[in-house]
Amino acid sequence: KSLNETFGADKYSEARKEVLTNMFSRPMQMALYFCTGVLEDETLFRHYALNVPFYTHFTSPIRRYADIIVHRLLSASLGASSPIKMEKEAIQRQADHCNDRKMASKRVQELSADLFFAIFVRVR
């Protein structure tokens, strides 16, 4: 409610809200995929916002390849499926690739938003 009051009620209020919300969220650190077996510093496993020492994240395995890997590793670690036949270094290479693709996607999204904002400003 307070943000809506800050953005005003004129015809550009929704646009101001979208732009500023986007700008406020950019500085947030992006999550990275990694294989715990290759990292020695367990403090890197911590989730800052949730204040928990160990954290993993995954969604439906139909969404992202990284989620498929996490599902398979979690299933194997719980004994529900056979162990994964990948070395930890190979898993880390997969994680690095997923991070690279995610960063590239994020960059394209940001550039697209910048382009449309520039067009919006030019038209107005």
pLDDT, tens digit (0-9, with 9 covering 90-100), for 58-73: 777 777 888 888 889 8
Structure tokens at 105: 């996607």
74-107 pLDDT tens trace: 899 999 999 889 999 999 999 999 999 989 998 9
3-12 pLDDT tens trace: 667 777 888 8
Q: Which residues contact 52 (CB under 8 A, 6 or more apart)?
A: 46
Question: What DSSP string runs through 64-83?
Answer: -HHHHHHHHHHHHHTTSSPP
d(CA 68, CA 46): 22
d(CA 26, CA 12): 22
Domain spans of the chain? Answer: 31-123
Between the alpha carbon of residue 35 and those of residues 18, 84, 94, 96, the distances in Å are 35, 13, 9, 9
pLDDT value, residue 90: 94
d(CA 20, CA 83): 46
